């Protein structure tokens, strides 16, 4: 799934662009240049796809792959496993198209057949996708009046054969449900894959220690939980999780994700609340957590009637960190310096920590003194510079998109 990137670039659509689009449409949507761009991008990621059968992979990264404003993800399907079958099937591809950033000649729907063919030529047979769905992101979403484009919710794909309403992909040691025509989202942010892997390793390490020492398992609070993928990663590792989101539909989706992994949702907490409302509740109840996940959207409208506050990452992130830190379990004195990801896991396993991330472009900007503006907002919220822990490298299929996402892990 492509996050809703708020940074926009002006479109420069020339007469040549229009002529090319008309010619491509007259040929049934085929375009040799597009075929070359897609095949080259997919071929560069084939090894990543082969190493993770049934997974979800970014196969085209916009400008980095020669097609600005267009991002393509492919999704496997391991739902057969839940019916006692072992076969991994190819699922579908999502083409995310950003108005004002994609070239004028690119028409996602008209060219979907070209994209489908180009993807499958480069994929191993078991990973070939059955369909291409297109997600158009308007430059000014407000003009849509809250109504999604018809193509975003249409079961019939722009190319290929329709896939089931829900697919199940495999990520590391767990499975997650994704939906190809459930609006502009699929239910999963692929750029966070390795960070979810780190959370799983953290939970596994803490859980094993708790069993040896006969103490309570680790606890994790996942705010803005969406479909609860971070919670699943932690729960598979043995943690007790709390997932907070304002959407009952997404929390129900999260519960299904637990069930896909043989986990009982009743053993974990799902709170349909505004994150700040939950913070207030947790303080009153004396709740504390060993790790807190902060992965908010760039912005969100408020709703006074439902008690939901308006949210802006640029304006509110420091406040989010400040209030989250108050819910961490007390920590021992002294935090040793972690010089590697492995050492970071040891430190993170022994001390309460916060994992913060964003795709808000202003917060992803690098600072001259090192780190990003997100690091600065975290420090601002804490009132001091924390002990920073090393995160894993971004997923290989996102290596070309540095600067579009930012994350940090710290012990306050």
For the segment 156-169, the average pLDDT, to the nearest whole number, is 96
What confidence tier does 144 reach under pLDDT thresholds 50, 70, 90? low
For the segment 317-322, the average pLDDT, to the nearest whole number, is 97
**Same domain membership, residue 238 and residue 174:** no
Q: Which H helix or E strand runs over 127? A: none
What pLDDT score does 309 carry?
74
Question: Looking at the DSSP assignment, which residues form a beta bridge with residue 312?
Answer: 299
**Same domain membership, residue 404 and residue 357:** yes
Question: Looking at the DSSP assignment, which residues form a beta bridge with residue 56?
Answer: 75
**Same domain membership, residue 260 and residue 137:** no
Flag the least confident range among 91-100, 234-243, 307-316. Answer: 307-316
- As a 3-state breakdown, the chain gives helix, strand, coil percent values, each rounded to 5, of 40, 20, 40
Contact 389, 409 (CB under 8 A): yes
189/226 Cα distance (integer angstroms): 10
pLDDT tens-place string over residues 227-247: 999 999 999 999 999 999 999
**Same domain membership, residue 342 and residue 226:** yes
Q: Which H helix or E strand runs over 58? A: strand 56-61
293: tokens are 């996940």
> In 3-state terms, what secondary structure has residue 372?
strand
406: tokens are 């930012």
User: What's 141's domain CATH number?
Assistant: 3.30.750.80
Domain end position, chosen among 155, 179, 203: 179
330/369 Cα distance (integer angstroms): 30
What pLDDT score does 339 carry?
54
What pLDDT score does 345 carry?
65
What pLDDT score does 360 carry?
93
332 burial class (0-12, 13-18, 19+ CB within 10 angstroms)?
exposed
For the segment 381-410, the average pLDDT, to the nearest whole number, is 92
Q: Which H helix or E strand runs over 197? A: helix 193-213
Distance spanning both ends of the chain, measured CA to CA:
31
CA 232 centroid distance within chain? 13
213: tokens are 């020492």
**Count of helices and strands (H, E) across the chain:** 11, 16
Number of domains in the chain: 2
Contact 377, 320 (CB under 8 A): no
Place of tokens 């969406």: 226
Domain end position, chosen among 148, 179, 210: 179
Flag the least confident range among 27-36, 125-134, 210-219, 249-258. Answer: 27-36
For the segment 140-155, the average pLDDT, to the nearest whole number, is 82
Decide if 175 is inside a domain: yes
User: What's 380's domain CATH number?
Assistant: 3.40.50.150
pLDDT higher than threshold 50 for residue 25 = no
> In 3-state terms, what secondary structure has residue 268?
coil
DSSP string, 300-324: E--BTTTTBPPEEHHHHHHHHHHHH
What pLDDT score does 10 carry?
31
Mean pLDDT of the chain: 88
pLDDT higher than threshold 90 for residue 14 = no
Domain end position, chosen among 125, 155, 179: 179
What pLDDT score does 189 carry?
96
Which position has the higher pLDDT, 303 or 381? 381
What pLDDT score does 79 carry?
86
Contact 69, 81 (CB under 8 A): no
**Same domain membership, residue 247 and residue 134:** no
Flag the least confident range among 43-52, 138-147, 365-374. Answer: 138-147
**Same domain membership, residue 196 and residue 170:** no
125 burial class (0-12, 13-18, 19+ CB within 10 angstroms)?
exposed
pLDDT tens-place string over residues 36-80: 999 999 999 999 999 998 999 999 999 999 999 999 999 999 987
Give the closest residue to 241 by CA, choosing from 265, 264, 269, 201. Answer: 269
For the segment 82-97, the average pLDDT, to the nearest whole number, is 78
Q: Which H helix or E strand runs over 137? A: strand 131-137
Give the closest residue to 133 by CA, choosing from 194, 68, 186. Answer: 186
- Cβ neighbours, 10 Å, residue 54: 25
What pLDDT score does 17 carry?
46
Furthest-apart CA pair in the chain: how many Å?
72
**Same domain membership, residue 399 and residue 295:** yes
Give the closest residue to 387 by CA, choosing from 330, 344, 335. Answer: 335
Query: Which residues span the domain enclosing 46?
Result: 15-179
Which position has the higher pLDDT, 18 or 367? 367
């Amino acid at each position: 799934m492509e996050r809703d990137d708020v940074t926009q670039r002006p479109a420069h659509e020339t007469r040549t662009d229009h002529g090319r689009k008309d010619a491509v449409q007259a040929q049934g949507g085929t375009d040799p240049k597009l075929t070359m761009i897609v095949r080259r991008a997919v071929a560069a990621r084939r090894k990543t796809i082969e190493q993770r059968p049934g997974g979800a992979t970014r196969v085209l990264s916009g400008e980095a792959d020669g097609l600005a404003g267009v991002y393509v993800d492919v999704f496997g399907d391991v739902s057969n496993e839940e019916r006692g079958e072992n076969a991994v099937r190819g699922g579908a591809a999502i083409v995310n198209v950003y108005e004002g950033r994609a070239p004028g000649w690119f028409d996602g729907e008209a060219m979907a057949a070209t994209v489908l063919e180009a993807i499958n030529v480069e994929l191993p047979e078991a990973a070939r996708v059955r369909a291409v769905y297109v997600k158009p992101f308007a430059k000014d979403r407000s003009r849509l009046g809250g109504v999604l484009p018809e193509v975003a919710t249409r079961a019939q794909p722009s190319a290929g054969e329709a896939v089931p309403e829900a697919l199940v992909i495999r990520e590391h040691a767990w499975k997650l449900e994704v939906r190809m025509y459930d609006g502009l989202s699929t239910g999963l942010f692929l750029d966070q894959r390795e960070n979810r892997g780190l959370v799983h390793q953290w939970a596994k390490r803490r859980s094993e220690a708790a069993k040896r020492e006969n103490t309570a398992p680790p606890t994790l609070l996942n705010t803005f939980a969406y479909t609860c993928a971070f919670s699943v990663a932690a729960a598979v590792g043995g943690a007790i999780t709390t997932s907070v989101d304002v959407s009952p539909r997404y929390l129900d989706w999260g519960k299904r994700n637990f069930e896909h992994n043989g986990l009982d949702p009743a053993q974990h907490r799902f709170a349909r609340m505004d994150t700040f409302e939950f913070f207030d509740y947790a303080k009153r109840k004396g709740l504390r957590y060993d790790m807190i996940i902060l992965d908010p959207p760039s912005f969100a409208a408020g709703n006074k009637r439902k008690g939901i506050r308006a949210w802006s990452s640029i304006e509110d992130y420091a406040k989010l960190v400040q209030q989250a830190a108050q819910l961490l379990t007390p920590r021992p004195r002294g935090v040793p310096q972690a010089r590697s990801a492995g050492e970071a896991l040891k430190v993170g396993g022994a001390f309460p920590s916060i994992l913060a991330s964003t795709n808000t472009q202003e917060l992803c900007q690098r600072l001259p003194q090192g780190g990003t503006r997100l690091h600065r907002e975290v420090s601002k919220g804490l009132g001091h510079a924390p002990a920073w822990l090393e995160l894993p490298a971004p997923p290989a299929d996102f290596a070309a998109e540095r600067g579009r996402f930012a994350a940090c892990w710290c012990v306050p």
